[in-house]
Each structure stands twice: as C-alpha cells, then as structure tokens.
Amino acid sequence: MPCAAPDPLKDDEVMLVTKSIVQTGIVGAVIRQVPNQPIVFPDDPRGNLSRYEDDIIAYTWRHFIEGGQNEPNWLLRFPMTKAVVRAMDTVTEYINRDISKFFVAGESKIKTSVFAIMMYRSFIGDCFFQRGWTTWTTGAMDKRVIAYIDRLTMPKYVVTASGDEFFLPDDSHYFYSDMQGPTYLRLYPFFHQQNVPFPQLSWDRYENATHGIIKFRTDLTPISVRAYQATTLSSERRDFRLVRAKAINSTEPVLQPVLYKPFHTSNPSKGTYVAEVFKPVLGWTCFFVVAEYPGPRGSTIRFTSESNIVPDVFPFPQCKGEGCVGVLV
C-alpha cells in the first residue's frame, strides 16, 4: 500500500520532530510503513487475507517453524530491521556528514509510523516504531546504535504482565539486576503517580526442598502487603498464559485459566514481609509480593517484587541451532 507524503502542518509525527529540531538544532527524518502493510501471502491457507502487524509476524514465524528453516529471510523482523538501517544510511548520505552514532528507542503497538531525530557528530535519534522489537534488533545488528543504560539513573517504574502472550512473568530476571538507580517493578497494569515519597525496596527470592520464598523489605510502612500466586495447568509446559492454541500448530485460541489468587504474607520484623508457597508436585507455581503505599490526593500506588517461579527448573534443556525448532502451542 503506497504511503503518501505527510502534511508537515498536520501530521503528528512530523510536527513533533519539527518541534524537536527547532528547539535543539538537530536534523529530523520521518520513516513510514515499517512494515509495508497489509501483506497478502499467495499460499495463505486462509485465502486472500490482508494481514497486519502481529498477524504478519506470526505467519512468517509459522512458515519458518514448519519447514522454512532454510529461509530466514521470511521472518518479518529482518526486513523491518534492514529498513531502519537503510534509513539511517540514507539520512547520513543526504546530509553529507559522517554520522557514527545513533540512539534508537521505540514503543509497541501504538504508532503507525516511525520517526528519527538526528544530531550531527553524536547523532542522537528517537524512533517510535509500530513494533518496538525493531528498535532492539536494529541495536543488536548495527554498531552505530548506542545504549544509554548508564544514564538511566533516574527513578524508573517498570510495568509488566503476569499472564501475557508475549512476555513471561520472570522476564525481569534477565534485566532487573542490571538497572542503575532506583528501579521499581509492578507486575500489574496501573496508572503512574508522581510527587510521592518512594520507598526503598529490596527482596530475595529462593526455594528450599518444599517451598518457594520471597523475602520483601521496605523502609516505608505500606498500607497493605499481599502476595499473588498461580500454578500452571500443564505439567509439561512452564506456561502462565491466559490464552493458548487449542491444539499444536492450531490458529484457534482457547482460554487457559491460569488465575492469580491472593494470599497473606507474614511480617516477622518491621519492614520485612515473607511470602511462601508450597512447591507443586506437578507443574510450576509463580508468585510475587504486592505492596500498596499512600499516593497524592488520596490515591494509592503499588509496587511489586520480581516473580519467583518454583521449582526453578525448565521442562526442556538448553537448545542450540536446529535443536531449537519447535511447534506452535
């Protein structure tokens, strides 16, 4: 589908870039149609279907998994990443400057275009992608993209889900300890509050022969503290999704009621709260602590610990190469 040139006086992204470059004296460029959608696949079993967004990504992954391992170029994120890299090349060539560094950031599922803001020499950009994954893969593939994790020392509030189809409840195990400065976690959607005293939080998560345990510590007295737990319905998959495929390789969804239930924590000493769950005989149990504090104007704000999943084992061994090929579930 062709993408017409945006009206610079009406287009939200162009107006935002324009405002930024006027205030900071930088170069801006707008990138659209990443990916160029909709896409119709001639061998689509659902016929002449126009696919968008996640539907395209899922279809290309299914093709790859079901016999297309020798066709990695089918995977949509590769051309999406290439499009961003080529856009960076194009801007560099157009302004005729030696640009060696890019900063790329993104949001998922909201914007229908991308935009980049560039600065000479240190070349700093802010790219809003319809697929935030593209920003990550661009950073992984192009050495010109720089990271700012060492500058993210301001207070941060990380909101994640416990039953999402894309993100796992223990994703934070792979990044939380690397964050710098105050970093708060919320395993539940909520609206952000400001101008309130933030507590100093820490926790330990571990297990023994019979129980999984989270020891949660706070310097401010919370209004309430409770924990939530859910156990997988399958004894073979570490699967906390609320929706799964009805059958292997099926595109029909079915509800999987892995529901989180609240339970009480103990309070052995001031500022210390302990959540304990029995390790299940079959499957896995995920649990986390939720602490509620006073917010502005009579509101409240909640923070959580990381999740603890017990037993701390995976149903399958670490895989490499062709051994990682699986099926859709």
Would 52 be classed as within a structural domain? no
Would 30 be classed as within a structural domain? no
- SS3 label, residue 198: coil
Would 179 be classed as within a structural domain? yes
Residue tagged 């892995």 (tokens):
258
Would 245 be classed as within a structural domain? yes
Q: What is the pLDDT of residue 323?
A: 72
pTM above the 0.75 mark? Answer: no
Q: What is the pLDDT of residues 12-58, one digit of tens each?
A: 878 877 887 788 777 777 777 788 889 999 888 888 899 988 888 88
CA dihedral 259, 264, 266, 271 (to 10 degrees): 90
Would 11 be classed as within a structural domain? no
Q: What is the pLDDT of residue 67?
A: 78
Q: What is the pLDDT of residue 79?
A: 87
Write phi, then psi, for 39 (nearest 5 degrees): -120, 135
Q: What is the pLDDT of residue 132?
A: 64
* Count of domains for the chain: 1
Would 39 be classed as within a structural domain? no
Would 170 be classed as within a structural domain? yes
Would 113 be classed as within a structural domain? no
Extract the residue ranges of the chain whose pLDDT is less than 50.
Answer: 1, 109-130, 189-194
Q: What is the pLDDT of residue 119?
A: 34
Instruction: Determine the structural domain holding residue 283 and report its residue range.
Output: 153-312
Which pairs count as long-range contacts for 201-210, CB under 8 Å and 24+ apart, including other chains?
A: 201/291, 201/303, 201/305, 203/289, 203/305, 203/306, 205/305, 205/306, 205/307, 205/308, 206/308, 207/279, 207/308, 207/310, 207/311, 207/312, 210/278, 210/279
